[in-house]
Each structure stands twice: as structure tokens, then as C-alpha cells.
Amino acid sequence: MKDNTQTYEQAMRRLDEIAAQIERGEVSLDDMSARLREAQQLLQYSKQCLYEAEKNCQSLLSVDEKE
């Protein structure tokens, strides 16, 4: 799950861990919904990080074009 100090890279590593555990069959059915919920939150956080990075890049490129 995302906390306020988590980076994009940490979120992606955790998503990889969750996917690998599920693929290896290490997640019980009882834990599956919690892991999927966590993965959904991590994906949402990661998408937001990418959106903000893209917005910042576009802003910087726009400034460069005006100069």
C-alpha cells in the first residue's frame, strides 16, 4: 500500500512482488483480495506519478520553446 514517502520505483517493485507471489501460488485465496486491493492502489499511485512527470516535462518543454 502507498505511503506518503513511497517512490514510483518502490511502488513498481511492490507490484512486481505481488505479481510474482500470485504467479508462484504463494498467496492464499483468503489473502488474494487484500493483495489485489493493494495492487490496485499501487497502480493508481503509479499512474498519478507518471501523469505528474509528463505534465512537468511538457511544462519544461513549453518554457524551452518560448525562449
Percentage above 70 pLDDT, the chain: 88
- Which pLDDT score is estimated for 60? 87
* Each residue's pLDDT tens digit, 14-45: 999 999 999 999 999 989 999 999 999 999 99
- Separation CA 62–CA 36 (nearest Å): 39
15 versus 65: the higher-pLDDT residue is: 15
- Separation CA 8–CA 31 (nearest Å): 24
CB of 50 within 8 A of CB of 42? no
- Which pLDDT score is estimated for 61? 86
SS3 content of the chain, % helix, strand, coil (to 5): 80, 0, 20
- Separation CA 64–CA 51 (nearest Å): 20
- Separation CA 50–CA 47 (nearest Å): 5
